[in-house]
Amino acid sequence: MNAPDFLEFKNVSRHFGSIRAVDQVSLSIRKGEFFSLLGPSGCGKTTLLRILAGFERPDTGCVILSGQDITQLPPNRRKVNTIFQSYALFPHLTVRDNIAFGLRIEKRPQREIDHEVERMLELIQMKAEAGKFPDTISGGQKQRVAIARALIKKPQVLLLDEPLAALDLKLRQRMLIELDLIHDEVGITFLYVTHDQGEAMSLSDRIAVMNSGIIEQVGTPAEIYEAPRSSFVAAFIGDTNFFEGRVAELIGNEYSRLVIDGFPDVTVFNDKQLAVNNLIYLSVRPEKFHISRERQEKSPRHNVVPGRVEEVIYQGSLTRYWVRVQEYRIAVTQQHSRFLLDEKPITWDENVWVSWHADDGFMLERYSQSDEQLVTLPE
């Protein structure tokens, strides 16, 4: 297991006219891994998947699957299979015939086909629906047939192109669990394409976040959420607050004091080892803040700033505040551990103290103004 570089993209590019759908992408995926390509629509993740499936040829670069260069192979000669976004079930064939399609094309003996199809029907628990046509079964069932139809080919990699996008919320959650179970059971590599961070976070071993044809960051879900490298990753995965500042002073080896225009000075963990006077961008997630009426005790590693609540949105399990701190308007989320009404909740126009630990702010290597659009802001 875990032999590295089981599936490799090397400098893969694909342009459509002047649009760089995929731009010099290199990526290695391990055997048996559940790997997700996450990004907004048009970021190139589907193109990358289609290059692997063989529906697109890269302009440059190559794709290597278990040691073999498959860049020039047609789709029908690659040992990868795809779950299409629309499922693409053959409407003129029954569930059973849909699943058998791949083996029939291979001209396998009928007995073997029957046996394998039965096994798959059992796996997806659809024996009773085997004779039905795709337009008479539910969305979740179609999804399962699509999975069985691909898995029966015993692919080395299973490609999933936004497979849950067409399902409603409840069903999506159930299929999420089923996908996870199937991955555990068959043990093959899954390459999962999605724009939904929740799906990617809960399913994946590792995630590659893509934006405008390039890979912004590859890492485990926790790495990507807690330690985003770019403003895009920080803003696209979850919500965040951005601050623009300058390193003013080093505090020991690990911390530094930042001067931020229109905001009090703050202390941050300086994992990038930046020197004094470096310009930096800081990201702090809303849930890392703590909000209270009383001033928190200030320790060297704690930041405490005064502010005024401008907006409160109650969302059940948590409440979202927008707090004015000098020229910044920061987003803060707070969970309720007690019955809300007993808490005497903080409300509009109250003066509050906002505090957070210096380790919870994260300095970004790349920053783009446009990524601020991705953050949820109050109107």
Which residues form the interface with other proteins (CB under 8 A)? 53-55, 57, 74-77, 80-82, 84-86, 88-92, 101-102, 105-106, 149-150, 153
Give the closest residue to 143 by CA, choosing from 98, 83, 192. 83
Cα distance between residue 258 and residue 252, in whole Å: 14
The secondary structure of 31-66 as a DSSP string is: TT-EEEEE--TTSSHHHHHHHHHTSS--SEEEEEET
Q: For other proteins, which is the closer residue by CB, 57 or 324?
A: 57
Q: How far is the CB of 131 from other proteins (least distance, A)?
A: 18
Q: Let me know: does 310 contact 323? Beta carbons within 8 Å.
A: yes
Q: Let me know: does 245 contact 284? Beta carbons within 8 Å.
A: no
Q: How far is the CB of 63 from other proteins (least distance, A)?
A: 15
Q: For other proteins, which is the closer residue by CB, 49 or 330?
A: 49
Q: For other proteins, which is the closer residue by CB, 101 or 353?
A: 101
Q: For other proteins, which is the closer residue by CB, 150 or 233?
A: 150
Q: Let me know: does 262 contact 250? Beta carbons within 8 Å.
A: no
Q: How far is the CB of 169 from other proteins (least distance, A)?
A: 24
Cα distance between residue 30 and residue 310, in whole Å: 48
Place of tokens 């609540």: 309
Write the CB contacts of 376 (distance below 8 Å, at least 6 apart in sequence). Answer: 239, 331
Q: For other proteins, which is the closer residue by CB, 81 or 303?
A: 81
Q: For other proteins, which is the closer residue by CB, 77 or 170?
A: 77
Give the closest residue to 83 by CA, choosing from 163, 185, 154. 163
CB neighbours of residue 239 within 10 Å:
17
Q: How far is the CB of 16 from other proteins (least distance, A)?
A: 12
Q: How far is the CB of 40 from other proteins (least distance, A)?
A: 21
Q: For other proteins, which is the closer residue by CB, 106 or 112?
A: 106
Q: How far is the CB of 154 from other proteins (least distance, A)?
A: 12
Q: How far is the CB of 106 from other proteins (least distance, A)?
A: 6
Place of tokens 């399609």: 101
Relative to beta strand 279-284, strand 290-292 is: unpaired
